[in-house]
């Protein structure tokens, strides 16, 4: 299994660029068609939920270290169904 097997794969969701303090989040207009994985946090928008058509995985290490779901926003666990 390689990175090409994933629609979205990230080690950590961190702001990039000078002055960018925003957090990457997923919301109403996001349709992720394929496997999604992170070694860090997934954050959901307060203005609607994304649609996932493939599996979503988060490493156990991230969850054990306080990561996983960085913020549910307007979503709940039903977003993964």
Phi/psi for 42 (5° steps) reads -115, 130
Q: Whole-structure pTM over 0.85, yes or no?
A: no
User: What pLDDT sits at residue 80?
Assistant: 84
User: What would the pLDDT profile of 19-73 be if each residue is shown by its tens digit?
Assistant: 665 677 889 999 999 999 988 888 888 999 999 999 998 888 877 776 678 888 9
Separation CA 68–CA 38 (nearest Å): 8
User: What pLDDT sits at residue 19?
Assistant: 66
Q: Note whether 36 and 55 are within 8 A (CB).
A: yes
User: What pLDDT sits at residue 22?
Assistant: 64
Give bridge partners of residue 68 from the DSSP assignment. Answer: 41
Higher pLDDT, residue 74 or 1: 74
How far is Cα of residue 9 from the mean position of the Cα atoms in its chain? 9
């Amino acid at each position: 299994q390689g990175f090409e097997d994933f629609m979205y794969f990230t080690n950590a969701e961190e702001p990039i660029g000078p002055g960018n303090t925003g957090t990457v989040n997923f919301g109403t207009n996001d349709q992720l068609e394929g496997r999604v994985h992170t070694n860090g946090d997934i954050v959901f928008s307060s203005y609607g939920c994304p649609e996932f058509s493939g599996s979503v995985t988060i490493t156990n290490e991230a969850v054990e270290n306080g990561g996983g779901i960085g913020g549910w926003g307007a979503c709940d666990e039903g977003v993964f169904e």
